[in-house]
Chain A
């Protein structure tokens, strides 16, 4: 196990280096001048030159990358070009909000997808199945900002049941935390859940046709037992991968939902840094997202070795 982990960490390091190089390179190709953006529309040439020098952006590209990489290795991801705050601090500040929303969304998604997908597979082409298909199509096609705004207008506006946005840490105000989490989690959860529902349906359908399910029935087991231990236990194994992908995507910050709900997450940060061409923050954010994917992949693989006996533990 130790050797395996070591190998994975090594691979991850290579990926991260590759990602940082690619992002750095791409940013050089993208039009847009962070100095100009920072200075606004009225400024003199001297001001421009002074800021350029202070920022280090007048250095040759390779030099800039090497400096950045060297610092990154010691954990120093640099400072935001716009605000001067350390990148790591900016990211850490927004991490709890993103983590909260991501996990809440996955929870909502699974609560929708597993029952709905399973029911659809158990009764193919029935009313439930067709209804679930329509709903999941809807969930996938509907723009999330539209859904978000509609929910705000209904639940925060007309009904006044919930706040219209914002984020409070759980420790400060548990009720407020929950109230603010509900609507955004529903929006992102419905979207994720719709994708996962289709997947659960096809996975369960496939397992239902397998021989061992027939064996279980022939043994005279109760239907619920067969469903739980033989059908779902197998059908939901691949769900781990799909959920992992969805989770990784959610952890990279869901920009639109964050903006509409004023949710201070990493998506907002990423968008702001793109608009401002705040390279250090962008680099740091992308690196973090890559790291998230790598970690989730690793966790998924390890999880499989635990829940699927066919996969040997190393």
Chain B
């Protein structure tokens, strides 16, 4: 018995044994040709953490859930105005405190049961009563009631013009069958009304099959398989190989190369996200307005954007992307190092100023952006120390106020309320920088309840001017959403809110 032979044969034997005990890891995809039959194979960057729409906050989860569940209303694929989905229409009372939603009557859940108002009441109350993730969206909601099987009444404590966006912005407010949480384990199973049913979800992939009785008409494909491919090079190779039909895992620097490639169809459109930098009002000298304005003057947004996102983004001095109804074109800062130095002098703060800029490698583009910003601030006398942390640590320090400055983004914004309110109102739940301007508070609060669109826009624009002038946030850019698929694939629309909907997709 020779040691090497023994070891090798033991290794080989063990190999066969363990491989045969397949476990539950499933990757139903064979080689080329996608998932076989008529199944769309989509390569996403990560595995969903769980599938309960009211509990999860992970984007990978919502990539799947978008196709499994519905909300009462959904954003339009192009301009993001709220449209009917499970609700056919809605009305507000005169005083704006009662919303009445009329529901569809031809909807069935995946288990065959019929959808009605009781399900809506159950779903919303579940979120509110158990204080689940998206409970904050029901902040002004006083009650949710089923008037009749086809009508739901929601009462709010103050006029809430963005209620539709709150309840339909994404699938976090999905409608579950009444009592679902007690009947099934929602973290791994789903009974929704969406175009696809959840068949399985494990370490290898998540598989959906078409729901023939979908109220919007059965999907063209037989199913969707989401494969988790974290490494962009591997995802792109899989797409070019034909192993997958669709992916969103595309690094910005590859965009121009892929655009001209034949085997791949790529689209890049503005998204609703925005990335920003902010400074801590509790940490002098960053509470000094001139210092903040000096920074805003020295930073070259175009250069930062180019470095972080190459062509796949738009620099912006406000949060809302330019083609949005509520967009503002306010852009007071011209990049000017001398003007910046003057502002610093004016501030009376001794130089050099040391600034710790906190970023997380969870979003690598912020690390790049931070380095560019550091190089732009150094000449005016601000020494930036880029602190790259893992996300968990980053969040901790943000929550504790332990930072000079940080960089991050807000994603998935639909309504201007999403873009501005909680971040800039005094003691706002997302106001980590500690900004407080009574005039801004007044404007934001008024806008929150203003039902007239134009008036509302005007209020937000005024607020935005103050926010930008005070540099509560230093807005940097709106990134594009970039996705690619196999040529000849039709029936798919790329969306600014990054929701992935395969309802009408057709494989070539």
A touches B (Cβ under 8 A): yes
Q: Which residues of A contact B (CB under 8 A)?
A: 31-34, 36-47, 49-51, 82-85, 92-97, 99-100, 103-104, 106-107, 110-111, 114, 145, 148-149, 152-153, 156-157, 160, 163-173, 176-177, 179-180, 228, 232-233, 236-237, 239-240, 243, 259-262, 264, 268-269, 272, 275-277, 307
- Cβ of B257 within 8 Å of any chain A Cβ, yes or no, is no
Chain B 257-305 interface residues, beta-carbon cutoff 8 Å to A: none
Task: List B208-256 residues whose CB lies under 8 Å from chain A.
Answer: 227-231, 233-234, 237-238, 240-241, 243
User: 26 interchain pairs (CB within 8 A)?
Assistant: A32-B393, A32-B395, A39-B57, A40-B133, A43-B429, A44-B135, A84-B50, A93-B24, A100-B18, A100-B19, A106-B7, A111-B8, A152-B233, A166-B204, A171-B22, A172-B26, A173-B30, A236-B2, A236-B4, A237-B3, A243-B7, A260-B231, A261-B231, A269-B203, A275-B391, A276-B392
Residue of A nearest to B244 (CB): A164
Q: Chain B 138-176 against A: per-residue CB contact (8 Å), 1 yes, 0 no?
A: 010000000000000000000000000000000000000
Q: With A84-B187, A239-B3, A275-B391 in contact, do A172 and B22 touch (Cβ < 8 Å)?
A: yes
Contact B1 A164 (CB under 8 A): no
A33–B408 Cα distance when bound, in Å, is: 18
The reply to whether B2 and A233 form a contact with Cβ atoms under 8 Å apart is yes
- In the docked arrangement, what's the CA distance between A110 and B7, Å? 8
A119 to B75, CA, bound (A): 68
CA distance A262 to B11 in the complex (A): 23
Chain A residues with Cβ below 8 Å from B52 are: 84
Given A164-B237, A259-B231; A84-B395 close (CB under 8 Å): no
B131 proximal to A (CB < 8 A): yes
Tell me if B338 is interfacial: C-beta within 8 Å of chain A.
no
| B380 shortest CB reach to chain A, Å | 31
The reply to whether the CB of B390 lies closer than 8 angstroms to some CB of chain A is yes
Q: Which of B110-156 contact A (CB under 8 A)?
A: 130-133, 135-136, 139
Is B392's CB under 8 angstroms from A32's CB? yes
5 additional A-B residue pairs with CB within 8 Å, beyond A50-B130, A85-B187, A259-B230: A37-B392, A84-B52, A156-B237, A157-B237, A260-B233
Please give the distance in Å from B214's CB to the nearest CB on chain A: 27
Tell me the bound Cα distance from A277 to B49 in angstroms. Answer: 13
Note all chain B residues with C-beta closer than 8 A to A262: 227-231, 234
Q: Taking CB as reference atom, which chain A residue is nearest B240?
A: A157
Evaluate contact between B131 and A96: CB separation under 8 angstroms.
no
Tell me if B23 is interfacial: C-beta within 8 Å of chain A.
yes
B: contact size bracket: 35 or more
Q: Kindly state the separation between the CA atoms of A102 and B338 in the bound complex, as whole angstroms.
A: 60
The 3 closest A-B pairs by CB, nearest first: A169-B22, A32-B392, A40-B57
Chain B residues in 8 Å Cβ range of A160: 241
Let me know if B23 and A93 touch, CB within 8 A.
yes
Q: Is B395 within 8 A of A33, CB to CB?
A: yes
Contact of B229 among A32, A103, A165, A169 (CB under 8 A): A165
Task: Tell me which residues across on chain A come within 8 A of B375, comparing CB atoms.
Answer: none
Inter-chain contact A36/B136, CB cutoff 8 Å: no
Contacts of A145 in B (CB 8 A): 231
User: Within 8 Å of chain A (Cβ to Cβ): is B184?
Assistant: no
CA distance A180 to B204 in the complex (A): 13
Residues of B within 8 A of A264 (CB): 25, 202-204, 228
Mostly helix, strand, loop or mixed at chain A's interface? helix
- Flag if B8 contacts A169 (CB, 8 Å): no
A113 and B180 alpha carbons, distance in the complex (Å): 57
A39 to B187, CA, bound (A): 15
Which single residue of chain A is at the shortest CB-CB distance from B393? A31
Enumerate chain A residues within 8 angstroms of B430, measured Cβ to Cβ: 41-42
Minimum CB–CB distance for B398 against chain A, Å: 9
* Docked-complex contact A176 and B30, CB < 8 angstroms: yes
Closest chain A residue, CB of each to CB of B58: A40
Q: What residues of B have a CB within 8 angstroms of the CB of A259 in the complex?
A: 230-231
- The distance from the CB of A93 to the nearest CB of chain B, in whole angstroms, is 5
**Using Cβ atoms and an 8 Å threshold, which residues of chain A touch B230?**
259-260, 262
The CA-CA distance from A170 to B14 in the complex, in Å, is 13
Q: Is the CB of A110 within 8 A of B131?
A: no
B241, A156: Cβ atoms closer than 8 Å: yes
Chain A neighbourhood of B18, CB < 8 A: 95-96, 99-100, 103
| B183 close to A (CB within 8 Å) | no
Whether B93 is near chain A, meaning CB under 8 Å from some CB there, is no
**Closest chain A CB from B388 CB (angstroms):** 14
B451 within 8 A of A: no
User: Is B351 an interface position by the 8 A CB rule?
Assistant: no
* B136 nearest CB neighbor, chain A only: A44
- In the complex, A307 Cα to B243 Cα: how many Å? 47
CB–CB B234/A165 < 8 A: yes
A49 neighbours in B (Cβ, 8 Å): 131
B392 touches A83 (CB 8 A): no
Give min CB distance, B111 to chain A, whole Å: 21
B390:A32 contact, CB within 8 angstroms = yes
Give the residues in chain A near B132, CB-CB below 8 Å: 47, 50
Known contacts: A103-B14, A307-B1. The answer to whether A44 contacts B130 by CB under 8 A is no
A260 CB contacts on chain B under 8 angstroms: 230-231, 233-234
B-side contacts of A236, CB under 8 Å: 2-4
Alpha-carbon distance between A153 and B227 when the two chains are bound, in angstroms: 19
Provide the B52-66 mask, 1 if CB < 8 A to any CB of A, else 0: 100001100000000
A107 partner residues in chain B, CB cutoff 8 A: 8, 11-12, 15
Q: Is the CB of A114 within 8 A of B392?
A: no
A83 to B202 alpha-carbon distance, docked (Å)? 11
B185, A84: Cβ atoms closer than 8 Å? yes
Closest residue of chain A to B9, judged by CB? A107
Asked if B442 is at the interface of the complex by the 8 Å CB criterion, the answer is: no
Q: Give the docked Cα–Cα distance between A248 and B337 (Å).
A: 57
CA–CA, A182 to B243, complex, Å?
17
**Which of chain A's residues have a CB closer than 8 A to the CB of B408?**
41
The distance in angstroms between the C-alpha atoms of A155 and B58, with both chains bound, is 33
Q: Scan B371-413; emit 1 where CB is below 8 A from any A CB, else 0.
A: 0000000000000000000111101110100000000101000
CB distance A96 to B233 under 8 Å?
A: no
Closest to B135 in A: A47
Query: How far does the alpha carbon of A100 sit from the alpha carbon of B392 in the complex, in Å?
Result: 32
User: In the complex, what residues of A have CB within 8 A of residue B20's CB?
Assistant: 169-171
Say yes or no: is B422 at the interface (Cβ < 8 Å to chain A).
yes
Cα distance, A171 to B24, chains bound together (Å): 11
Q: Are B19 and A110 in contact (CB under 8 A)?
A: no
Is B491 in contact with chain A by the CB < 8 A criterion? no
A111 partner residues in chain B, CB cutoff 8 A:
8
Given contacts A37-B391, A164-B243, contact A83 B237 (CB under 8 A): no
Q: Which residue of B lies closest to A81 (CB)?
A: B49
Within 88-128 of B, Cβ neighbours of A (below 8 Å) are at none
Q: How far is the CB of B254 from chain A (nearest CB, A)?
A: 13
Closest to B24 in A: A93
Using Cβ atoms and an 8 Å threshold, which residues of chain B touch A164? Answer: 229, 234, 237-238, 241, 243
> CA A49 – CA B135 in complex, angstroms?
12
Contact residues in A for B362 (Cβ distance below 8 Å): 275
CB <8 Å contact, B392 and A152: no
| Residue contact A46 to B131, C-beta cutoff 8 Å | yes
Q: How far is the CB of A43 from chain B (nearest CB, A)?
A: 6
Interface centre among B20, B52, B395, B408 (most CB of A within 10 A): B395
Give Cα A31–Cα B400 distance, bound, in whole angstroms: 11
Q: Across the interface, which residues of B come within 8 angstroms of A261, CB to CB?
A: 231, 234
Q: Which residues of B contact A243 (CB under 8 A)?
A: 7
